[in-house]
Amino acid sequence: MNTADFAAFEAAIRGADHEVDLFTAAMVIARLGGHEVDPHRAARTLDLIAENVLAEAGESPSRDALAHAIDHQLFTVEGFHGSFDDYDNPENSYLDRVIERRRGIPITLSLVYLEIAQRVGLPADGVGFPGHFIVRYGEPGAYTYLDPFQQGVRLDEQELLAMLRGLDLGGARPETFLAAVTRRQVLQRMLNNLHVAFRNRRDIQRWHDTIELQLRLAPWNVSLIGERGMLRYRLGRLEEALPDLETYVTASETGASPGAIRLLDQLRIRYRNMGESR
């Protein structure tokens, strides 16, 4: 990725959360794949699906009628489905490739669903269920939950709450995990998935670029700053690595990783020696 990509991401996430351009930001994230990303082609595909949903739902459809028309067009007609056999493939996190391949992971398939819902006038939200992103539509007290990864299967709210009560939620109330997530939280979750994928693959450049995007959403995250510093060191970008590592070690105090402290010491010695030799 280049400076223009990072600037485009910053522009897409600027302002209040409801002003975040989720589609454009997701298209920037897709550029991490290194392939040519065509947002207009992806948007046109979604527009055509939305047109078919409206045609199927008929005049003045109810919310349930709209939702069932989305289900039919997305999962039966278009064949969108969960990528079970290569779940960890980064392509499942690139929205343009998900639209093209008709397969993805829970959060990208949910994003496709939300994009269609927005186009046809169905109020819908993403729900950050632990380990599995889902969608809800409807009104408070009467939400319908569905799983785009499972081709729109409906989920019972009481069963979801029972599952949550069986998890360690760190003291949080189970109901909070059925609340709507923000647009920035959707992007954070997409980037978290890619962060893990590139780290596991030891893909240093894409790992670094993912962190650059994450820091646009959370510039205060000193752990990410330290991680970026270590990656910049490995990429040979030593002058940029030094302030990152200094920020991380200073802010973390005794919690800084030994590896980061060791790299910082090496860089300080290197630049001190360079100064003395001039």
**pLDDT (0 to 100) of residue 167:** 87
Structure tokens, 43:
């948007």
CA distance 220 to 198: 22
Q: Is 190 exposed, middle or buried (0-12, 13-18, 19+ CB in 10 A)?
A: buried
Give the separation between CA 252 and CA 246, rounded to whole angstroms. Answer: 10
Closest CA to 18 of 186, 183, 185: 183
| pLDDT for residue 171 | 84
pLDDT averaged per 10 residues, the chain (length 278): 96 96 98 97 98 96 96 98 94 98 97 97 95 92 94 94 90 91 96 97 97 97 95 94 92 80 87 62
Q: What pLDDT does residue 141 have?
A: 83
What are the φ and ψ backbone dihedral angles of 145, each rounded to 5 degrees? -105, 140
The single-letter DSSP state of residue 142 is: S
DSSP calls for 160-187: HHHHHHTS--TT--GGGGGSBPPHHHHH
pTM equals 0.92
CA distance 150 to 89: 18
48-52 own/partner pairs: CB under 8 Å, 24+ apart: 49/73, 49/74, 49/78, 49/116, 50/116, 50/119, 50/120, 52/77
Quick one: CA dihedral 226, 243, 189, 77, positive or negative? negative
Instruction: Specify the 3-state DSSP secondary structure of 219.
Output: coil
Distance CA 258, CA 91 (A): 34
All domains in the chain, ordered by first residue:
3-183 (3.10.620), 221-278 (no CATH)
Instruction: Give strand pairing partners of 103.
Output: 81
